[in-house]
Amino acid sequence: MKVAQALVNAIIEEGITHVFMVPGGIVDTMTEALSRTPQIKTIITAHEGGAIAMADGYARAGGRFGVAMCISGPGIMNMITGIYTAYMDHSPILIISGEVPTVWEGRGSFQDTSPNGAVHDGDVLRPITCITRSLRDTTNLEFHLRAVFKKMLCHTTRGPAHLALPVNLQNAETNYRHEPFGIGHHKARLLDPESCTGIAELIARNPRVAIICGASASDSDMNVALPQFAEKYHIPVATTFSAKGVFPEDHPLSLGYFGWSGLRTAIGALLSDQLEVLIVLGSRLNMQDTLYWNQRFATLKAIVQVDADENNIATNFPAQYPVIGDSLAFIRHMDRELQRHGSLLGDTRPMRQEWLDGIIGQAPKTFMPQSCTSSDIPIHPARVITELRKIMPRNTIISVDTGSHAFFTSHYWDSYAPREFLSSIRYVGAMGWAIGAGIGAKCARPDVPSVVVTGDGCMLMHGMEIQTAAKSGLDIIFVVINNSALGNPYLRARRISEQFAAMLTLPTHDFSLLAKALGAKGCRVTDPEQLAEVFAKALAEGGTHVIDIICGNYPTPTEDYDRSLLKPIAATI
């Protein structure tokens, strides 16, 4: 068997169903092997930037890993932004690239980015992958593959892993058989119970406790255990932006998400001077998760910070109770511990409820709730998201792009389970990512309804992937918040000058026509009263839909609030 076939077999063994790629001479052998493999659907994308975002969306929605393939040189370079995004968000992706035959290396051959080429792909990728390897001979195939899979999946190093295969080695013979890496390899349920000493007493003595769940906690599959734990001890739960849905956002104990464009209830509770103890599950407490490192986090009585990677603990704020371990293991351990303090926690329940009533019961959980029913023309994005949420089924996977539309979407869209709200706005936020990610998510979970919310600027960057969705027959609704502007910078610019704002406007493109040109169904909406009907029709019809919605540039739900927080920071930069 050829090495190319052995690698394809390994991907099948791991239960992966899709490979996203752009072909080229240097990966012809691999591509041909895929063409003979009915178990894997190979999606040929418009651009390698789309392929890597699709592999990322596939990994995030599916919970395993994604596979992206490309040629050396320009193929890899086109993937850079997507690889960097996956690296920062610890999204596991196997990136396979070809390389020139080893006898051509370093001799001025076309697309030679081998270790001996003028530019080496591995050198470029090293800072943004958890591992990069170039196969030098078949003897070490097993060792290199083990290293690549292990680093890609292991919970401390998880992320994009790169394997380069020179053409002659893709064609070389091997008898390698892949042993799949079972779930135990990357979902270690480890916890250091000693580090939990004293936490039960702390919670029992300080009734105003809240939990904030971050992105890495979503790997712990806590969707059943966390609500049970919260209900049993009556502890409210917020999530960060990137962990939206890890705790159902319509649960009576949900505070919603905290951070940029966060909900009034989450911001009210976590920044309240009554809060005593904050339990942080799987967040590094970075800039976004703490609203610019809000000093309230430094004045709490105690932070209990739980993370499987000790490097993430106490990096931004002191953690009086550092816990190294998995969030689900922590919840289970604390449940056993707290049972011993049951009556004490039961006694403090009314105090917690009174505090919560003051926050949750006070007013709607969103800022500017009136914009959800706005009849304004051009349409208000809050109205778009409100109508969309009403039509789409509860378990819809939504992929959200980067721009002001992201803030409207996250604010007014409720998610109810992990892996159903996909966004790259934690560290990177590259425009157009969600278009590919939504396609990958649909491939990973074909039975779940899928929607992408993007902007007109994002469409100009990666809208060509609409053709990938359409030709693959995928049921995806792409909602374009078409505000004729690079809205996010535009909103800032218009506070400064008309000339500055004018630079950031865009012509009003008709993305419904683009959709039709690319083989998808397209329509345009200008009246908010049409939204519900158009969404319902697209959902019922199936297929790839692009709904181009003419919107205005309204302030984002927390624009004024965010600016008030930024003011003291702005003075220091």
Ligand X SMILES: Cc1ncc(C[n+]2csc(CCOP(=O)(O)OP(=O)(O)O)c2C)c(N)n1
The residue (of 229 and 260) whose beta carbon lies closer to ligand X is: 260
**Does the protein bind ligand X through residue 50 (CB under 6 A)?**
no
User: Using CB under 6 A as the criterion, what x/- string covers residues 477-496 for binding ligand X?
Assistant: ----x-x-xxxxx-------
- Report the residue from 6, 26, 61, 431 that binds ligand X according to the rule CB under 6 A: 431
> Whole-angstrom Cα distance, residue 293 to residue 260?
12
Q: What are the angstrom distances between the C-alpha of 518 and each of 378, 431, 435, 451?
A: 26, 20, 14, 18
Give yes or no for a contact between 218 and 246, defined as CB atoms under 8 angstroms apart.
Answer: yes
User: With respect to Mg ion, which residue has the nearer C-beta, 400 or 485?
Assistant: 485
Sequence length of the chain is 573
CB of 403 to Mg ion, least distance (A): 6
- Contacted entry of ligand X, Mg ion, none for residue 236, CB cut-off 5 to 8 Å set by kind: none
Min CB(432)–Mg ion separation in Å:
12
Look at residue 72 and give the partner it binds from Mg ion, ligand X, none, a contact being a CB closer than 5 to 8 Å depending on partner kind: none
Q: Is 55 in contact with 440 (CB distance < 8 Å)?
A: yes
Least distance (Å) from ligand X to the CB of residue 35?
33
Cβ at position 408, least distance to Mg ion in Å: 11
Residues 6+ apart with CB under 8 A from 369: none
Which residues are near Mg ion by CB under 5 A?
A: 455-457, 483, 485, 487
Nearest CB to ligand X, comparing residues 129 and 404: 404
Instruction: Select from 278-286, 322-330, 366-374, 427-435 the region that touches ligand X (CB under 6 A).
Output: 427-435
Residue 488 partner contact from Mg ion, ligand X, none using kind-dependent CB cut-offs of 5 to 8 Å: ligand X
74, two tokens: 């320009």
Binding mask 358-397 for ligand X (x = CB under 6 A): ----------------------------------------
CB of 482 to ligand X, least distance (A): 8
Question: 367: which DSSP letter?
Answer: S
The two structure tokens encoding residue 199: 């936490």
- On the question of a cis peptide bond just before residue 378, with omega within 30 degrees of 0, the verdict is yes
CB of 355 or CB of 413, closer to Mg ion: 413
Residue from 458, 470, 514, 515 touching ligand X (CB under 6 A): that is 458
> Which positions ≥6 away from 573 have C-beta within 8 Å?
none
Nearest one of 34, 72, 61, 45 to 444, comparing CA atoms: 61
Compute the least distance from the CB of residue 562 to ligand X, in Å: 14
Rounded-to-integer distance, Cα 208 and Cα 351, Å: 8
Cα end-to-end distance, the chain, whole Å: 60
**What is residue 505's three-state secondary structure?**
strand
**Nearest position to Mg ion, beta carbon:** 455
In the complex with ligand X, the residue whose CB is nearer, 367 or 511, is 511
Per DSSP bridges, beta strands 277-281 and 254-258 are: unpaired
Q: Which does 402 bind (CB under 5 to 8 A by kind): ligand X, Mg ion, none?
A: ligand X
Residue 16 CA to residue 3 CA, distance in Å, equals 18
Whether 445 contacts 397, CB under 8 Å: yes
| Least distance between Mg ion and beta carbon 551 (Å) | 8
Tell the smallest beta-carbon distance from residue 489 to ligand X (Å). Answer: 5
Collapse the DSSP code of 342 into the 3-class scheme (helix H, G, I; strand E, B; otherwise coil) and give the result.
helix
- In this complex, which beta carbon is closest to Mg ion, that of residue 23 or of residue 457? 457
Q: Is 457 in the site for ligand X (CB under 6 A)?
A: yes
Q: Is 359 or 430 the residue whose CB approaches ligand X more closely?
A: 430
CB 337 within 8 A of CB 531: no
Binding residues for ligand X, rule: CB under 6 A, are 402-405, 429-431, 455-458, 481, 483, 485-489
